[in-house]
């Protein structure tokens, strides 16, 4: 037996040296499940976008992708954790315009830098911003909303997902245009903030479309306007801020996937390819479009395009948000 084994081994070595037997192929990435951190509560837009896309990526990669919701400090707690995670491709983060751009001017001691501490993987979705309110909020349209919030600023509560979150910075922009400073009510994400809006516990919020379409269509909240130049096909009856009389308020957020700095180019490439494949899948596209997302085209999905987006967004938000700190 030992002899046969030795003989088999010797033959294998001989054949391998002749190039006739392929050496056992090391299993390539991923060999176990991957975690993507979502820096907000479950059920909000970042969580929803991450779940739709990673479900398809998991099929392509042949491993499950676990969503870990880590909340706090407008998404920066989770993003810091992701920046410090092992750069082996098994811990990723699905961040957004807040965690990877607006947080830079808002947190002078931010413990990570979006450009220096991450390898961009892919832009996952563009998400226009809407001005939303509880169903029984008195103003009937955007003009009335402007007059009402200016007249009642002290009494109003604007929900958001923490300082530096998309909902926070986009309403900061709205408030600076209107020259008001209402009380902000922070939540661990706009999933729970939306629940509070539906329950009438807060007055209004600015949020990503993905969170709003089901509630607007169900009539549980009001939508005054979408802050983009064109109406969104998922909400054909919601006017743009241009149509509704507040053209200066333009805001579109985005969600994107990143890995910790130093993750190998091969791993980044396979994650990027899986994300791109998900964005081409009919079922994924249908779901994202139903929720009002803008699906990035091929040129916008590359790691390089995401690096440029992050750089440009930091440059865009810094002068807007710096004076507010
Ligand atoms: N949309 C949220 C924000 O305001 C976060 C979330 O996805 O829950 O940043």
> So what's the pLDDT on residue 321?
84
Sequence-distant (≥ 6) Cβ neighbours of residue 225 within 8 angstroms: 130, 131, 142, 238, 239, 240, 241, 243, 244, 246, 249
The stretch 23-52 carries a mean pLDDT of 90
pLDDT at 143: 98
pLDDT, tens digit (0-9, with 9 covering 90-100), for 107-117: 999 999 999 99
Residue entry with tokens 């993507």: 36
Atom number in ligand 1 closest to CA 211: 1
Instruction: Return the pLDDT at 323.
Output: 59
Q: Is the CB of 184 under 6 A from ligand 1?
A: no
Could you tell me which residues come within 8 angstroms of residue 47 by beta carbon, excluding any fewer than 6 positions away? 38, 40, 41, 67, 69, 189, 191
pLDDT at 291: 98
Fold of 34-126+253-321: D-Maltodextrin-Binding Protein; domain 2 (3.40.190)
- CATH number given to 128-226: 3.40.190.10
Lowest mean pLDDT, pick from 11-20, 81-90, 226-235: 11-20
Going from the Cα of 305 to the center of ligand 1, the distance in angstroms, rounded, reads 22
Instruction: Decide if pLDDT at 13 tops 60.
Output: no
DSSP state, 155?
G
In angstroms, what is the span from residue 43 Cα to ligand 1's centroid?
Answer: 10
Among residues 68, 88, 296, 96, the alpha carbon closest in space to that of 208 is found at 96
**Domains 34-126+253-321 and 128-226 equal at CATH topology level:** yes
Confidence category of residue 264, pLDDT binned at 50, 70, 90: very high
Distance, CA 264 to ligand 1 centroid (Å)?
A: 29
Cβ–ligand 1 distance for 166 under 6 Å, the answer yes
What's the rounded Cα separation, in Å, for the pair 286 and 290?
Answer: 6
Q: For atom 8 of ligand 1, which residue has the closest CA?
A: 189
Distance of CA 217 to the CA centre of its chain: 22
The reply to whether ligand 1 has any atom less than 6 angstroms from the CB of 128 is no
The pTM score is 0.90
Could you tell me the pLDDT band of residue 2, with boundaries at 50, 70 and 90?
very low
**Residue 27: pLDDT band with limits 50, 70, 90:** low
* pLDDT of the residue at 322: 77
CA–CA gap between residue 224 and residue 209 (Å, rounded): 12
Q: How far is the CA of 8 from the centre of ligand 1 (A)?
A: 60
Distance CA 131, CA 167 (A): 10
Domain residues of the chain, as ranges?
34-126+253-321, 128-226
Please tell me the distance from the alpha carbon of residue 163 to that of residue 276, in angstroms, as a whole number. 31
């Amino acid at each position: 037996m030992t002899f046969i084994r030795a003989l088999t081994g010797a033959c294998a070595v001989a054949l391998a040296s002749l190039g006739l037997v392929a050496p056992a192929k090391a299993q390539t990435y991923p060999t176990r499940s991957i975690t993507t951190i979502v820096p907000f509560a479950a059920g909000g837009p970042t969580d929803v976008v991450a779940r739709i896309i990673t479900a398809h990526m998991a099929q392509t990669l042949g491993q499950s992708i676990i969503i870990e919701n880590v909340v706090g400090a407008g998404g920066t707690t989770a993003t810091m954790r992701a920046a410090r995670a092992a750069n082996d491709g098994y811990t990723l983060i699905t961040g957004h315009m807040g965690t990877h751009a607006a947080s830079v001017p808002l947190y002078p001691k931010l413990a990570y830098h979006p450009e220096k501490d991450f390898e961009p993987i892919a832009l996952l979705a563009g998400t226009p911003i809407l001005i939303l309110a509880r169903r029984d909020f008195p103003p009937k349209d955007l003009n009335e909303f402007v007059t009402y919030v200016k007249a009642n600023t002290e009494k109003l509560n604007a929900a958001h997902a923490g300082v530096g979150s998309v909902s926070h910075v986009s309403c900061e922009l709205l408030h600076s245009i209107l020259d008001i400073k209402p009380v902000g009510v922070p939540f661990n994400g706009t999933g729970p903030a939306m629940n509070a809006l539906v329950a009438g516990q807060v007055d209004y919020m600015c949020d990503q479309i993905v969170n709003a379409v089901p509630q607007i269509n169900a009539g549980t909240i009001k939508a005054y306007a979408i802050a983009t130049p064109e109406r969104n096909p998922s909400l054909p009856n919601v006017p743009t801020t241009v149509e509704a009389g507040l053209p200066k308020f333009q805001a579109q957020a985005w969600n994107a996937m990143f890995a910790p700095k130093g993750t190998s180019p091969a791993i980044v490439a396979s994650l990027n390819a899986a994300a791109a494949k998900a964005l081409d899948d009919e079922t994924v596209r249908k779901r994202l479009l139903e929720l009002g997302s803008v699906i990035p085209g091929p040129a916008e999905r590359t790691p390089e395009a995401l690096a440029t987006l992050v750089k440009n967004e930091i440059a865009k938000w810094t002068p807007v948000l710096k004076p507010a700190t």
